[in-house]
Amino acid sequence: MPDPGKTFTPPFEFWTGTIHSLRFIQGSIMRTPLAHRLIALTASLLALAATAPVVQAQEGAVVTGKVTNPQGQPIEGASVLISSLNAGTATTTAGIYTFRVGTRNITGRAVSITARRIGFSPVTKQITLVSGNQQVDFVLAADITRLNEVVTTGVAGATLLKNTTISITKISADQINNVPASDPISALAGKVPGAVVMSTNGAPGQVAAIQLRGATNLGLGNNSPLVVIDGVIATNGMAGISAADIVSIEILKGAASANTYGSQAANGVIAITTDRGKSLAEGKLAITGRTELGQSSVGHYISLMEHHPYVLAADGSIALNSGGNRIIKPDHYADNPFPSTGDNQFRNQLQTWLPNRSYESDYVSMGYRQDKTNFFSSFSRAVDPGILPLVQGARNQNVRLNVDQTVTAKFDLSASLLYGHSTNDGAQTGTGVFFALLQSPPDLNLERPNGPNDPVRFDPDMPKSFAANDRGNPLYGLANTANVNENQRVLGSFTARFRPTTWLNLDGSYGADHSSDYNTGLTNRGYLNDTGIPGAGTLNAYTGKDFSTNIQLNSTATHDFGGLSSTTRLTYLAEQDDFQSFQTSGRKFNVGGVPTFDAMDPTTLASSSGQQTIRANDFYITQGFNYKDRYLAQLVGRRDGSSLFGTEARWKNFFGLSGAWRVTQDFNIPGFQELKLRYAVGTAGLRPQFGDQYETYTVGAGTISKNTVGNPDLQPAVQRETEGGISGTFLSRFDGEIVSSERRTVGAFLNVPLSVALTGGFSSQVQNAATIAGKTLEGSLNARVIQGHDLNYNFTVTASRTRQHIDQLGAPPFQVGSGSQGQGIFYYRQGEDMGVIYGTRFDTKVSQLLDNPANAGVSIDSLKKVYSVNDLGYVVKTASIGLPSETPVAYVDTKGNSNVKIMEGQPDFVWGLANTVHYKGFTLYGLLDGSKGGQIYNFSKQWMFQDLRSGDIDQSGKATGTKHAYDLYTNGFYNALDADSYFVENGTYAKLRELSVSYDLGTHFISQIGLGNTIRGAKISLIGRNLHTWTKYTGMDPEAASNGDPNLRLDGFRYPTFRQVAGQIQLDF
Amino acid sequence: MKTSKQLGMLLAAVAVTACNSDLKISDLNAPDTQRAVSNAGDVQTLLGGGIRLWYIQSNNVDPGMAQSVMAQALTSSYGNFGMRFNSAQPRIAYNNSSSAGDGAVANDPWRFNYAVLGQANDGLNALTRGVKIMDGTGADVTDEYQAIGHFLQAASLGNVALIFDKGFIIDDATPIPAPKTFSPYKDVATAALAKFDLAIALSAGKTWQIPDNYFTAINMTAANFGQLNNTMAAEVLAYTPRSQAETDAVDWARVRAYAVKGIDHDFAPIGDYNNWWTDQGTYANTPSWTRVDMRVIHELDPNSPAVFPADCNTPPQATSADSRLASDFIFMKSIPFAPARGCYHFSSWAYGREASYGYDADASTQQIGPYPMIRKAENDLLIAEADVRLGTNLAEAATLINNTRVGRGNLAPVTAGTGAAGLLAAIQYEQDIELMATGPGLEYYNRRRINGLLPQTPLHLPVPAHELETDGLPVYTFGGPTSPDH
């Protein structure tokens, strides 16, 4: 480690090593099918670098100065840069900066020097460089609007937010780090207008789903945005990315803004920039350590049945008949209490078996910047068992190294490397365990279900009189199964930038993303089945390996035509993605205690494998115009070729056009410091999935059978989006933006079902058969409410309303599934909204019976003689109320159709509200987010009806005459598990998602306790996640969706998002 | 100049790269038609694989388990495989909605039988186009594969005729896409029989032997194959009727003609868990999933109730003069079903004749070994029934019945003197007891054709909603109080 007190000059070996690294990477590329082409590009890039004049900074000019806030306090970590010369540095803790410019650049012409720091408005000054020292000081004012921040995603060149023509949301580290999220997507919840962030599987280690301005597909493909990390496309998403490393996240929401990403950007783009040590004070090693210790717990328990409909024995236990079966009371009312003592006393199995569990995460980072080199390295680890007992949960470790090296004034290099490793033994058991646990009999001790002397802990063979229809003892599997998912990820990139002239930038980058999964499942010999019989043991293993590479070459030219500045960017992008998988399973161990396939009976082994290669070549041009920072425009043209497109449709064009007018540059509008009007239109696409274009036969066991019909005409789905926006800063206190977007995704993919009979055996074909429309109105408002010396309060509110609609469907209406333990119930039909469920709607007014053609000619009066509305609000036969025969009446419309719309999932709007209060060293931060309107289907409850588990069936405490037999619930509302209106619930909720109270100990205090020489800063925090949810929804968590799609608002034994409370300490050295 | 050169180099590299782009990539995971049906080996794999697909789907839980509970042979209150709701008392209509949880009951047999049929037609068309198949000695055995192709056509059309009220009659001469014309089940059965006849004719007198792995390790000579086709043809003829009246109208002489040339030993493919298994056989022999309906126990022991008592009180353990109660059935003290779903689902008796095949057995024996799909006894009983219904040879009928009635059940033998009615009753008894949990749908077909199903039980399944919606046709169903032609 270099001595932080001395100047660190990168040794020559560093360079040599870099070249070696390059050669290594080059060698790696050669082994790929892209090798011959990529090698030529890499070589030419290196040749360019080698021929670039190497200028050693000798005497030249020394620029120095101080950067302060208006109160005169120094600003640390501000960057001061002459961008045209790529010369600059960052300020020390004292706000001082110094850097040197070579003699060659002292031309007598004025150059721009800019000081900037996140959270402050940048200041640019014109200076003429002279030999020797010259001082340039800056005073930076706080910038709540963030409009002076620079964005780089989807634009021709780095652009100030206030000069953008497209819709970009930028989230900075300070918006993420108050309550560090478990993954970068969760960190966006409530902070990005137009985004719906939903943890569709709350198990630890699972990355949340995000949807930007609505869906683009109908179940085939996904709604996930493209992920770009440090400028390189990350095929394998967010796995292994530590939120703590992030400096900023830029979000492009749809085709109007993300068109530069062409055929893979209709879902938007999330571009993450990680820390590179660029803003560190020169010559000083910065080390930060952070540890968090906390506890996870269930936020909300659902209501369970605490009474039963069985006859009681004299001692209060449940009486059994001669066959050992329980005897149902004649009235069928579930109002007898379970025993309150003894081995068979009532237990709330959820409260008993979903324990509070502790978790921890640790993070350490190290950064350094000196002259021409800056680097940042970090290590993080987390252990999160979640809320299930008997499993370890998610464990992950990540290491990152980012290095930037300036070689000459015209040439610099960047390298990034991430290694992530995670294991999870809870993710694959989550749904099954919750399925069984929610339906566990309440009067059994699941640890010893057959009594205190049951020799088998968590015995799966439970007494049938207690556990009729049981789903097994969920704890036996947790305790005795070793299911482990392991993932390793290596994400690396190398970028070279070359500026041959002041107007031309050339850069090239190579990115490689390797992700490998190794999943194993083991039950040892002797593992008991549900009837208590020991088995011979099973073992299965899956390994999947994905390796994607891409190389991108950019040429960016800028020119100023007397006030009109032009930026032109030409890009070429080549992508290749190779995936291979292999799995083996066996089901009889010849030898116990040796979990290998070698120890298994070879006749029980079975294996399968798969492979795929995807290639793409893309070209695009981005042209930006800026006339005196007033009138702004951008044009994009892109041509994509992909092996995923059908043979007859290999290439597709995309475009973008956008413009903006900064009104306040032309007119003085009272109260407005900034006002911008913006309009953008563009197209972006979605690529088909690998197998979609091919005609396939299924092979297996040496046999062949037909599967899908090939589609040589398969094209990317193309979204065309137009958006208009108005943004501004007003009253020196508020910064707001309103954006309206309209989009149509044409040619969305459908797996169009075919008649197997009529096609001779093929069951489906993937076609560009649907059009999905979406309208979004979104807005955000930042307010600096109080700005005092000691007290600051600001808040940010975001809200959006999205309406999605199926304009065209080139297939019969069809259903998509709930993901687990259920059939497809979401209904896709032409002319229908997204997120809709069709099913049985129970009548709530007697007059609704008149619609049924079977009641034609029947008067309402005669119907009322037979039917009435019971106290639950449903129409039943009056004479049956309270009897086992009481059953709700299904609505039949005037056409005799009983399958009608029962649920609309789309919320009226979603919102987020982030508040930050600083008082002296204290910071109080809270993020509330939620959803208003829209409905949720409580599929878990419907399942729980069949076995008398849901609290709804409990009749205790109800007055005589208002009780209902269990049959009303277990037969009537249960409805054979077909969707019905009883289980449709209001999905409105508000969630206190993040809360933190932190105290910055301050340098004064640290000095006082004698650690001033060691510790630069210290912060202690108390943080909470998902602390409380306000909702009328009766399930565990209204943040529920299935299939990873926020539009499919169905709660089906989902691992709920859980509460975490933690203490955190951070030390800066 | 230097900059221009550098830029030029870069652009040249980009151009070269672009020109070399190769975006044509094959799917190496699965073959296309080109690779699947281009030469003799492909056709062999396609048709040989077709046999496996036919076997797996014919013995699938859908519709087999629903049919079994509708026949009151097995019983279960679990919702899986349509068991609970299709055995509801009183009967309710089959839920033919493409969103229904039990949709696979109709959808799977429809889809899989037509998949098998399509595969058979592709193979036969390849042979028609001139693909010749030689055996290891160089002898032309193309006719063997034509026979297999026609067997698959017959077997799949036969399944459609037995399971559904109507179907598409498609063969290798039908243009694809096929015309959207439904034929009633009787016509579909007739078409199936024509294909069996072709397979039988192609097998007659031949010396070829079907490759080892086509019917698992069963040794299947051309003669054996002909026997299998004959038995299955007799099954289609005898089991297609939906009522006693239709049964009476069956050409029993033709049934007999097929059956006497039918199998002389059990047709029992050998399970290996991974590639060959019968799901129906597995669940039927798994006491934690299914039980034997009390209707069957009542047949074995008339003192036992035909329906489990409504108060869920377990009746006294049955006893029977038939020794198969002890050998094939297992008395279980506990019942895994919930009283709240109706005690009529209950039974203390599990089927255990092939217990090691079931899911309650050790994992290493589950779905391992031979499992009878068609017992010799079934073929014998078809001959016997034809004999009785034709009134030609009651003595032969009695002998065939006694093979199992006495041979396994140790019951008093029947004789010609028992009379036609008594012999038919004895046949039906053997069909219920001896053939339990063997042929797919067998229990249901045998009850259906003698008006033996509970009132308002569907007599066949409707064309599945999925197919009707794909074809743009209205969805309909059978069963329950309101649907026509229960």
Averaged pLDDT for residues A1026-1030? 96
> Which A residues, 681 through 720, put their C-beta within 8 Å of a C-beta on chain B?
690-691, 694-707, 710
Nearest chain B Cα to A556, which residue?
B7
Tell me the H-state helices in B59-141: 61-70, 83-86, 104-128
Nearest to A604 among B24, B177, B364 (CB): B364
Portion of chain A with pLDDT greater than 70, in percent: 92
With an 8 Å Cβ cutoff, are B115 and A839 in contact?
A: no
Phi and psi at A531, nearest 5°, equal -105, 15
Band of the pLDDT at A469, cuts 50, 70, 90? low
Query: Is residue A185 left, alpha or beta, with left meaning phi > 0 and alpha meaning psi from -120 to 50?
Result: alpha
Class of residue B481 by CB neighbours under 10 A (exposed 0-12, middle 13-18, buried 19+)? exposed
Helix, strand, or coil (residue A1026): strand
The whole-number average pLDDT for the span A638-666 is 94
CA distance A11 to B277: 69
* B465 Cα to chain A: minimum distance (Å): 11
Higher pLDDT, residue A901 or B2: A901
Of A129-133, A806-810, B436-440, where does mean pLDDT reach its minimum? A129-133
B interface mutation test: which of A531, A550, A816 has the most B CBs within 10 A? A531
CB-CB neighbours of A50 under 10 Å? 10
Which residues on A lie below 8 Å from B10 (Cβ)?
Answer: 44-45, 48, 506, 553, 555
pLDDT at A90: 80
Asked if the model's pLDDT at residue B7 lies above 70, the reply is no
Q: What is the pLDDT of residue A1004?
A: 77
Q: Is the pLDDT of residue A41 over 70?
A: no
Q: Is A614 left (phi over 0), alpha (psi -120 to 50) or beta?
A: beta
User: Measured between CB atoms, which of B21, B110, B273 is closest to A641?
Assistant: B21
Q: How far apart are CA A549 and CA A575, in angstroms?
A: 6
Q: Which of A812, A798, A817, A809 is CA-nearest to residue A833? A: A809
Q: What is the pLDDT of residue A17?
A: 38
Chain B environment of A532 (Cβ under 8 Å): none
Q: What is the dihedral sign for C-alpha A215, A216, A217, A223? A: negative
pLDDT at B6: 56
Q: Smallest CA–CA separation between A645 and chain B, in Å?
A: 9
C-beta neighbour count of A547 within 10 angstroms: 20
Q: Looking at residues A307-319, what average pLDDT do you find?
A: 93
CA distance A679 to A675: 14
Region A173-189: what's the mean pLDDT? Answer: 83
Structure tokens at A997: 């109270």
Q: What is the DSSP string of B220-244?
A: EEHHHHHHHHHHHHHHHHHH--SSH
- Give the burial class of B112: count Cβ atoms within 10 A of its Cβ; 0-12 exposed, 13-18 middle, 19 or more buried: buried
B8, pLDDT greater than 70: no
DSSP, collapsed to helix, strand or coil, labels residue B154 as helix
Measuring CA to CA, how many Å separate B120 from each of A754, A1044, B98, B117?
19, 39, 27, 5
Q: Do A553 and B103 touch (CB under 8 A)?
A: no
- Shortest distance, CA B14 to any CA of chain A (angstroms): 7
Q: How many CA atoms lie within 13 A of B484 on its CB side?
A: 2
- Rounded to two decimals, the ipTM of the complex is 0.85
What is the pLDDT, as a whole number, of residue B471?
Answer: 87
CA quadruple A805, A808, A809, A814: dihedral sign: positive
Residues of A in contact with B101 (CB under 8 A): 822-823, 976-978
- What pLDDT band is residue B241 in, cutting at 50, 70 and 90? very high
Q: How do residues A326-345 score in pLDDT, each as one tens digit?
A: 889 999 999 999 999 988 89
* A27/A29 Cα distance (integer angstroms): 5
Which of the pair, A227 or A898, is modelled with greater confidence?
A: A227
* pLDDT of B483: 66
User: From the CB of residue B53, how many other CB atoms can be counted at a distance below 10 Å?
Assistant: 25
| Residue A607 contacts B, CB cutoff 8 Å | no
Query: What's the distance, Cα to Cα, between the start and end of chain A in Å?
Result: 14
Task: Please say if the pLDDT value at position A38 is more than 90.
Answer: no
The vertex-A254 CA angle with A252 and A255, nearest 5°, equals 115
Q: Is the pLDDT of residue A92 over 80?
A: no
Q: Is B32 within 8 Å of A694 when comparing Cβ atoms?
A: yes
Tens digit of each residue's pLDDT (9 = 90 or more) over A876-916: 999 999 999 999 999 999 988 888 999 999 999 999 999 99
pLDDT at A98 over 90: no
Q: Do A518 and A557 meet the contact criterion of CB atoms below 8 Å apart? A: no
Which residues from chain B sit within 8 angstroms of residue A643, using beta carbons? 23-25
d(CA B123, CA B117) in angstroms, rounded, equals: 10
Which range in A105-119, A650-664, A823-837 is most confidently predicted, on average pLDDT? Answer: A650-664
Note whether A309 contacts B: Cβ–Cβ < 8 A.
yes
Closest-CA distance of chain A to residue B218, Å: 17
* Minimal-distance CA residue of chain A relative to B53: A705
- Judged against a pLDDT cut of 90, whether residue A615 lies above it is answered with yes
- DSSP for A649-704 reads --EEEEEEEEEEEEHHHHS--TTEEEEEEEEEEEEEEEPPPGGGGS-EEEEETTEE
| CB-CB under 8 Å, B178 with A695 | no
Tell me which residue has tokens 């030689």.
B134
Is the pLDDT assigned to residue A93 strictly greater than 90?
no
A757/B167 CB distance under 8 A: yes
Instruction: Determine, for residues A691 and B338 on separate chains, whether the beta-carbon distance falls below 8 Å.
Output: no
H helix or E strand, kind and range, residue B187: helix B185-203
Distance of CA A21 to the CA centre of its chain: 33
DSSP-derived letter for residue A831 is T
Round to whole Å and give the CA distance between A681 and A700.
48
**Helix ranges (DSSP H) in B249-287:** 252-260, 279-284
Residue A633 has pLDDT above 60, yes or no: yes
Q: Which residues in B lie closer than 8 A to residue A650 (C-beta atoms)? A: 23
- Contact at CB, B52 and A703, closer than 8 angstroms: yes
Size of interface A-B (CB pairs under 8 A): 302
pLDDT tens digits along B161-197: 999 999 999 999 999 889 999 999 999 999 999 999 9
Q: Which amino acid is at A917?
A: V
A549 has which bridge partners? A512, A576
Region A148-164: mean pLDDT is 86
Estimate to the nearest angstrom the gap between the alpha carbon of A480 and the chain centroid. 32
- Set of chain B residues whose Cβ sits within 8 Å of the Cβ of A710: 32
Give the distance between the most distant pair of CA atoms in chain B.
116
Tell whether the model's pLDDT for residue A52 goes beyond 70. no
Higher pLDDT among residues A1044 and A770, named by residue: A770
- Residue B13 pLDDT: 57
Phi, psi (5° rounding) for residue A705? -145, 155
Structure tokens at A170: 């930028």
**pLDDT tens, residue by residue, A914-954:** 999 999 889 999 999 999 999 999 999 999 998 899 999 99
Asked if residue A1047 has pLDDT above 80, the reply is: yes
pLDDT at res. A701: 60
Contact B14, A572 (CB under 8 A): yes
Is the CB of residue A545 less than 8 Å away from at least one CB of chain B? no
- Residue A372 pLDDT > 50: yes
A703 with B29: Cβ contact below 8 A:
no
SS3 A625: strand
CA contacts within 13 A on the Cβ side of B482: 5
pLDDT band at B34 (very low <50, low <70, confident <90, very high): low
Residue A35 has pLDDT above 70, yes or no: no
pLDDT confidence of residue A607: 87
Give the pairing of strands A138-139 and A61-68: parallel
Mean pLDDT of chain B: 91
Top-confidence residue, A324 or B105? B105
Residues of B in contact with A320 (CB under 8 A): none
Q: Which of A45-54, A411-420, B4-13, B256-265 has the lowest mean pLDDT?
A: A45-54
The one-letter amino acid code at B3 reads T
Nearest to residue A152, comparing CAs of A248, A256, A87, A226? A248
Q: Does the pLDDT at position B99 exceed 60? A: yes
E strand segments, A534-605? 538-561, 564-586
Peptide bond between residue B90 and the one before it cis (omega within 30 degrees of 0): yes
Please list the residues that pair with A545 across neighbouring strands: A516, A580
**Residue ranges in A520-580 assigned as alpha helix (H):** none
Lowest-confidence range among A4-8, A779-783, A932-936?
A: A4-8
What is the number of other CB atoms lying within 10 angstroms of the CB of residue A318? 18
User: For A756, which of B21, B79, B118 is closest by C-beta distance?
Assistant: B118
Give the residue from A122, A259, A263 showing the smallest Cα distance to A644. Answer: A263
Among residues A682, A658, A778, the alpha carbon closest in space to that of A165 is found at: A658
A41 touches chain B (CB under 8 A): yes
Does A895 lie at the interface with B, CB-CB under 8 angstroms? no
Chain A residue at shortest CA distance from B273: A604
Contacts with B103 from chain A: Cβ below 8 Å: 823
Q: What is the pLDDT of residue B412?
A: 97
Region A89-112: mean pLDDT is 82
pLDDT computed for residue B11 by the predictor: 52
Tens-place pLDDT, residues A500-529: 888 999 999 999 999 999 999 999 999 998
CB contact, 8 Å: A112 with chain B?
Answer: no
Instruction: Enumerate long-range contacts of B30-34, CB under 8 Å, 24 or more apart.
Output: B30/A691, B30/A694, B30/A696, B30/A697, B30/A698, B30/A699, B30/A707, B31/A696, B31/A697, B31/A699, B31/A704, B32/A694, B32/A695, B32/A696, B32/A697, B32/A710, B33/A695, B33/A697
- In terms of average pLDDT, the best of A235-244, B83-92, B192-201 is B192-201
**Confidence label for A59 from pLDDT (cuts 50, 70 and 90):** low
Q: Given this model, what pLDDT does residue A253 score?
A: 93
Given a cut of 60, is residue A129 above it in pLDDT?
yes
How would residue B251 be classed by pLDDT, with cut points 50, 70 and 90? Answer: very high
Contact A695 B2 (CB under 8 A): no
- Report the 3 state secondary structure along A62-91: EEEEEEECCCCCECCCCEEEEHHHCEEEEC
**Per-residue pLDDT for A867 more than 90?**
yes
d(CA A178, CA A993): 12
Most confident of A54-63, A941-950, B2-11: A941-950
Residue with the two structure tokens 């806030």: A69
* Measured distance CA(A316)–CA(A340) in Å, rounded: 9
